[in-house]
Structure 1
Amino acid sequence: MKTQRPISSDDEHRVLQFRPRNAPSPAVPRGNGAVQPLRIAPEPLDLSRYEQPRPAPDHFRHRMLANIAALAFTIALTAVGIWLAVSIADLRRTQDSVLMGRRDCAKIATPQI
């Protein structure tokens, strides 16, 4: 079977010249035919143009208390999750022992002397 390749001409391929950003801006033609350089006002390099005035002052103490409460809740939730996983694993181990027909599956607590 003969493979067919698309016919391409040199008109389809173009090499674009790379222009670095720090190079001077290109000349832009104006209405009267005179060529003038494109002038762009330099923008400040800080984020001041995105700042917005705050309607109320920031309550640092309230925010820190909320963060501490969220951290305590997260720690408590993690502890409950770990306890639940250990309890389920222990129950499963006991249940597997009972289903195998053993009689000494339950742990008996012995008093410490």
Structure 2
Amino acid sequence: MGKQRPKISDDEHVVIPFRPRRSAGLPDRRPPANSADAGFPDRPSRHQPASEQPDDFRHRMLANAAAFAFTVALTAVGLWLAVSIAALRGVGTLP
């Protein structure tokens, strides 16, 4: 079984001191921009400048079209659900 903590009654109040975070584990200054790839020169960088990465226009447009279709489908389902709930409650029907 794990450690057992002492039971604190409702009459006792525990005050936990607030200690702001310090950057003890972080360096005092930012490393140079190219130091991340200094140890691995043959590894492709994830964030290369735009001039070094080819612009895959077709893939980007397919992703945009898929996102737009998903948004339209989600909106349509939401509207259908709202209309169905309103019809069940009898909202918007004539007497």
Say which structure, 1 or 2, has more relative contact order (CA 8 Å, 6+ apart).
1
Normalised TM-score (structure 2): 0.41
Higher strand share: 1
